[in-house]
Amino acid sequence: MPAPALDVDVAEQLIARGETLLDGALRELRARGGIDANETLAYDLSHSASGLAAARSCLGYARHGDDEAQLVAAFLAMTLSDLAERILGRESLWGVETGWFEPFQSFVAAYRDPSFLSTLAETPGDRHLDEDFELVASTFHRFAEEKVRPHAEHVHRANDDIPESIIEGLNELGGFGLSIPEAFGGFSAGGESEYVGMVVATEELSWGSLGIGGSLITRPEIMTRALLRGGTDEQRQTWLPRLASAETLCAIAVTEPDFGSDVAGVTTSATRTEGGWLLNGTKTWCTFAARAEVLVLLARTDPDRSLAHRGLSLFLVEKPRGDGHGFVFHQETPGGGRLEGRPIDTIGYRGMHSYELSFDQWFVSDDHLVGGEEGLGKGFYFQMAGFENGRIQTAARAVGVMQAAYDAALEYARNRVVFGEAIINFELTRTKLATMAAIIQCARQFSLDVARQMGRGDGSLQASMAKAYVCRAAEWVTREAMQIHGGMGYAEEYAVSRYFVDARVLSIFEGADETLCLKVIARRLLDALGES
């Protein structure tokens, strides 16, 4: 029997019921001693809350038509099923009574039915972008198809550098100035359009390639936000036009070998010297560090470790371009500064290259301290302003990779014949494709909704939620796309294997999934509960 047409009001009621259940579980979490004493519960709560937030953001999309409503219905049914899986066997931890799932049962049964899902296998749904953003999407999609994809496989297999032609072409499109205000040579007029345009462009570039497309505009986005939040007028006038024109490319140097997402534990030091500062210490996972001409570096300017993040400041560290396979630079300064970059080999996300950086008496002048003297001890906050935007952009990157994987799987399924029939006709294949389509479209709509919120000066928690949910989803989607290819999915002959290994990094960078859930999402949910 076909599933009934989605009643959006009923869907909203179910989401509200789920949110009430989560509020009760948050109270239970607090009563049991909080996050540190109940990390598993806090983690599961964070992901369940993120899934429900994604579903809620899609209610407006469901009103566009039948296809849209069906995709949202399938997504909400998946979200509620995931919630049930997290609770099963842990009911006492969640503080729920027997039979808690009964109000959701008929909805989930209807919209998880394979006979319903199989009808959506070839129904990815319209994005319903405004005309201006459709133009952005088509422009960057064409660039990704014509300029990025032809290089993607070679760069991945050879662990090569990003071709300069891609950097130059993206600059011609204005890709590096999307978030930079017009007053500084960029294309941003502020407001929602700035954030939505960035999300749309990022998705399309990531559809072309995560490693040599979508990630190129993430680093200038982070540096731009940090400068707009804390930079001096002179720093903004100096650096933002250079970022917008790609005269200067940047990299972000925050993570350290012993302190990953625990930014407050940073030990790289900046010590005052005549006319500036001397940097000493090690940074790791600094992506794009060789090609970049400036590093946005977080360092400890107050040796009192008890100050934690309040003792950190942000610096703009200029350097020459380096070789993609490692570099060493020396300064002609009294201290004889030295900077060494060692590349870190990775299974995917190639082209950008990540590095371990070692600073030994590396000099930076006073005017490269973000915010000047007023910026001392505020580097953590400036950096976080950039990272919050980086998280929603990372969600958009995940959507682009998922879309590429779905497109590849759908094409392969239509053409691959097994037992005398194209595998697109098998129920299991169709159910997988339908699940992918629902996840991708709802992840996209969630990302767009959060971008609009951020354009209004809100959405910080939602950006973290989007990053957590969408990046985990990308692992499943790319895995299933690879599986649909069968043995050929494991061969480098097909790009789907690259999508799979690229997707794996999404839940690690820009805030590791576990840290994001425990230190950001769960804490903010508890704070919000206290205010309600």
Catalytic (active-site) positions: 510
Q: What gap in Å lies between CA 477 and CA 435, rounded to an integer? A: 8
Nearest to 208 by CA among 163, 158, 174: 163
Count of CB atoms situated within 10 Å of the CB of 115: 12
Widest distance between CA atoms in the chain: 80
DSSP-derived secondary structure letter, 293: S
Question: Do 68 and 59 touch, CB atoms closer than 8 A?
Answer: no
- How far is C-alpha 395 from the chain's CA centre? 4
* Distance between CA atoms of residues 320 and 213, nearest Å: 23
DSSP H helical ranges for 160-280: 164-172, 192-208, 218-230, 233-244
The residue among 267, 279, 261, 342 whose CA lies nearest residue 316 is 279
Q: Distance between CA atoms of 168 and 163, rounded to whole angstroms?
A: 9
Are the C-beta atoms of residues 481 and 408 closer than 8 Å to each other?
yes
SS3 content of the chain, % helix, strand, coil (to 5): 60, 15, 25
Amino acid at position 518, single letter: L
Distance between CA atoms of residues 438 and 117, nearest Å: 9
Q: Please, what is the Cα angle at 447 between 441 and 453, to 5 degrees?
A: 140
